[in-house]
Every structure is written in structure tokens, then in C-alpha cells.
Amino acid sequence: MNTIIYIIPELFLSIIVLSLLMLGVFVKKSFKIVNLLSILSLIFAIVLVLNQPNEIIKVFNESYIIDKLSIVMKVLTLLACLFVLISSNEYVRINNIDKMEYPIIIIASVLGMIIMISSYDLIIFYLGLELQSLCLYILASFKRDNKRSTEAGLKYFVLSALASGLLLYGSSLIYGFTGSTNFEIIAKNLDETNVASVFGLVFIIVALAFKLSVVPFHMWTPDVYEGSPTSVTSFFVLVPKIAALTVFIRFLYVPFINIIDQWQTIIVFLSIGSMILGSLAAIGQKNIKRLMAYSSIGHMGYALAGVATGTESGIQSSISYLIIYLVMNLGIFNCILMTKREGIYYENINDLAGVSKNHPILALSFLIMLFSLAGIPPLAGFFAKFYIFMSVIKSDMYALAIIGLIATVVSAFYYLRIIKIIYFDKPKKPFELTHDAGLKISLIFSSILILTYFVYPSILTNIVSTINIY
């Protein structure tokens, strides 16, 4: 019983998923009530997570951990999911995906992510990963009458299944040569001279790189982001990244910290490849969701640069980067969900022509988010990159810092091109701005956070500085 109290948030979400399923089955046209209860459940789950003990606790034979890292990342996951549900109400209704299963699948996916975040054992991690992945397959193909959505779901399913197979193979190698699936025991028994165990590590990194959508395991990202419903794309961009980066950090710095020389170079190359591809491949994109897919690949490259340093400050800078990345992308997708005309949502960048003339407030929000994504001071995106580059330079990884700076300059081109289209191109027919209060609140919240972050940046750094995984 004493151990059960430490997994109350997970138990609560499990009960909510089962209860909402029963409610949805027995009550006709139950989407509104199920969606509202899902939002309230996420808020209550955040309260439960924040009330967990602020110390390191390992339960279930040390296979599940509650610490500062897990608490912060769980709250982030739940908050990101909450804002996705709040801001996508109108889109879901207009596109006829307002089925009761929609919020339930999202909650189930978040449950898998929370299990991943606290996992301290390969088996527990895999259970959480598969729960998350199964839900994401369904979400990507939720618009069954749309060929692009069906294709997105199929592509994600096939490639994700391949990544899961590689993960299992790597885990079996690690288990075979260390005799355990527990992270701490793996760290004690791992022999850095054993080639097979290093092979196992590489397979696990490949699988995690796929989940984080970094180069060269990014191939699914643009097609899935473009083909999925926009509300689902915003979920893909925001929520799974949190769990994937947390597991990346936990994997590399707990069981494999003794062989840092073996994996550090791999992470550096993943980071460099993602930054370069993210800055170059997005230049020719005409669909804004594909552009944001390549943008997210590049941003995950910056986040991995902090992980590659092998230092505590590097991890903290990566987490700071991820938090600011979440707010920026929440804002930009809120803007995209505003671009509606006669019940049709427009995704072509050229359709944003002259938005500043017809919708100056929306244009200003676009401007704030795009400048921040480009890393232009004094917006929050500048500080995110500043934290990463400072930790990389402190670790004497000058080549990585220089490549990151060059990639930042190149990527600014396609962000500024969208601003040019919004402010200087000939106006098109005005959009029908939403009356959805949730979307407006979410957009205002993210815009203010990004715009005013420089006033008191120590709020974030104080939270992140308390995170210690050693």
C-alpha cells in the first residue's frame, strides 16, 4: 500500500480512461461531456503530480522512480496536452473528428508518456512506450475518410514498429550481457570493453532518435505532420517530445554514464545532422505543417546538443530549451488553427498573404512566435538557444556551437519569409477568426509568455537548476 501512493497520478489517469470509455459507450453524442471531463482530469492530474514528494523515491523493486526530473516533465506533459485539448475544440468539431474516442485516446497516450518518464527499468519503459505509440497510430489516422490522414497513420505505424523492434533487440543485448533490465544494475555490470553491450546501446539510441524525430531517423515526420489532422499534429509536435527527451537523458546518464565516450560522439552527430537538415530542408516548403515538421527536427537537434555535453548544466539547458520550445510551438499552432475560411483550414504559406492588413492581432502573434523560433532577442527563443550554446561552449565543444550558430542563421530565412508574406504581400480574402474562447486564451497565454520572458528569465532557470539525475 505504501508504494501505491507514489503512482496515484498514473492510477487516476487509468481509471479516467476506463470510466470515460464506459460513459462514451452508454451516452449518445457524448463528445462534449467526455472532452470536458478529460480537460478537468488533466488539471486534477497536474495537482496530484505536484503533490508528490520532492525527493528521490524508487518503487516496485527500483523499476519506477519519482524525482524532480520526473515531476517537472510529467507536469509539462499534462500541461501541453491540456492546452492542445483546450485550443482544438473548434477544429475538431468542424472536421468531424468530434468522436468520444478522440480525447480518451489522447489521455491514454499521455498515460504511456508519464510511465516512460518515471521508468527506471527497460521493461517498464517499453510498456509505456507501446501504450503511447499505439494511441499515436490511431490519432494520426483519425480522419478515416481522408487519404492523407490514413497514409500518415500507416507510415507512422510501419516505421514506429521498426523502431520498437530495434529497441527490443538492443534491450535484449543489454540484458544478456549485464543480467538485468534495471538501470542502476546495468550501470554497475556494464563492461565498456564488451562490444555487444555497446551495440545494444546503439540500437536503443536509434529507437529513441526515431521517437524524438532527429536525423537520420526523421523520415516519417514531414509526411505524418502534414497528413494528420492539425490538432493531432500540434499534439505530435508538443507532447511526445517531452517523454522522448526525458528518456534520452535518463538512459544516457544513468545506465550508460560509465561509457560516455562511446555515446557522446553519436549524440553530437545526431545533433549536428538535425540542426543542418532542419535549417536547410524547410526552406523550400510551401505547406506550413511540413515546414514546422522540419523546424521541430532542427529544434530537437539543439536540445540534443545540451545532452551531448555530458554535464549537469547541459541537461538543464536542454530542459529549459524544451520548455520554451513547447510554448513557441503551442503559439504557432494556435495561429495556424486561426486560418479558417468557410469551414476550410488553410495550410499553404502563401494563403497567409497580407494577414496583417485584415487581422493585425493574429499577424502580431505570428510575428512574435516566428521571431522567437528564429532566436531573435529579446524573445524567449533567443534565451533558449543562449542556454544551449553556453553549456556547449563550457564543455569546449566549439565545433558543435559554431555549426549550431550557422544553422540558426540559415533557419531564420524561412521564418522571416513567412513574416514577409504576412506583412508585405498583397492581401487575400480575410479569414473567419474563431469564436472559440479556449483557442484565444491559449494563443494570448503563449504570446505573452514568449514576449515577456526576458523580464524575469530566472523563473525558469530556478526551476530547472533543482533538477539533478545523478
Summarize pLDDT for 8-20 with one digit per residue, the tens: 999 999 999 999 9
Cell 522567437 belongs to which residue? 372
- Residues in the chain, total: 470
Torsion-angle region of 377 (φ positive above 0: left; ψ -120 to 50: alpha; else: beta)? beta
Residue 450 near residue 327, CB atoms below 8 Å: yes
**Domain that residue 435 falls in:** 4-465
Residue 318 near residue 388, CB atoms below 8 Å: yes
Number of separate helices (H) and strands (E) present in the chain: 20, 4
**pLDDT for 206-259, tens place per residue?**
888 888 888 888 888 888 888 888 888 888 888 888 888 888 888 888 888 878
Asked if residue 470 belongs to a domain, the reply is no
Asked if residue 406 belongs to a domain, the reply is yes
Q: Which of 218, 213, 228 is nearest to 152 (CA)?
A: 228
How confident is the model at residue 107, as a pLDDT?
Answer: 92
Q: What is the pLDDT along the chain (470 residues), one digit of tens a residue?
A: 578 888 899 999 999 999 998 888 887 778 888 888 999 999 999 999 988 887 888 888 888 888 888 899 999 999 999 998 888 888 888 877 778 888 899 999 999 999 999 888 889 999 999 899 888 888 888 877 778 888 888 888 888 888 888 889 988 888 888 888 888 888 888 766 567 778 888 888 888 888 888 888 888 888 888 888 888 888 888 888 888 888 888 888 888 887 888 888 889 999 999 999 988 888 888 888 888 889 889 999 999 998 888 888 888 899 999 999 999 999 898 888 888 877 778 888 888 887 888 888 888 888 999 999 888 888 888 998 999 999 999 988 889 889 999 999 998 888 888 888 888 888 777 777 777 788 888 888 888 988 888 888 888 888 888 877 65
- For the packed helices 195-212 and 230-253, what is the interaxial angle rounded to 10 degrees? 160
Asked if residue 275 belongs to a domain, the reply is yes
How confident is the model at residue 153, as a pLDDT?
Answer: 83
Would you state the cell numbers that stand for residue 194, as one nine-digit string? Answer: 564488451
Q: Where are the beta strands (DSSP E) in 253-373?
A: 340-341, 344-345
- The Cα diameter of the chain in Å comes to 66
DSSP designation for 258 = G
Q: Which of 382, 292, 367 is nearest to 333 (CA)?
A: 292
Instruction: Say if residue 103 is preceded by a cis peptide, omega within 30 of 0.
Output: no
How confident is the model at residue 87, as a pLDDT?
Answer: 86
Q: How many separate domains does the chain show? A: 1
How confident is the model at residue 112, as a pLDDT?
Answer: 92
How confident is the model at residue 77, as a pLDDT?
Answer: 92
How confident is the model at residue 192, as a pLDDT?
Answer: 62
How confident is the model at residue 96, as a pLDDT?
Answer: 79
Asked if residue 233 belongs to a domain, the reply is yes
How confident is the model at residue 347, as a pLDDT?
Answer: 80
**Within its chain, how far is the Cα of 103 from the centroid?**
18
- Taken in order 185, 118, 17, 207, is the CA torsion positive or negative? negative
Strand, coil or helix: what is 326?
helix
Please give the C-alpha separations between residue 318 and each of 52, 304, 392, 467, 469, in angstroms, as whole numbers: 24, 7, 11, 12, 13
How confident is the model at residue 191, as a pLDDT?
Answer: 67
How confident is the model at residue 194, as a pLDDT?
Answer: 67
**Within its chain, how far is the Cα of 361 from the centroid?**
27
Please give the C-alpha separations between residue 431 and each of 343, 417, 427, 440, in angstroms, as whole numbers: 10, 20, 11, 15
Buried b (16+ CB within 10 A) or exposed e, 253-262: bbbbbebeee
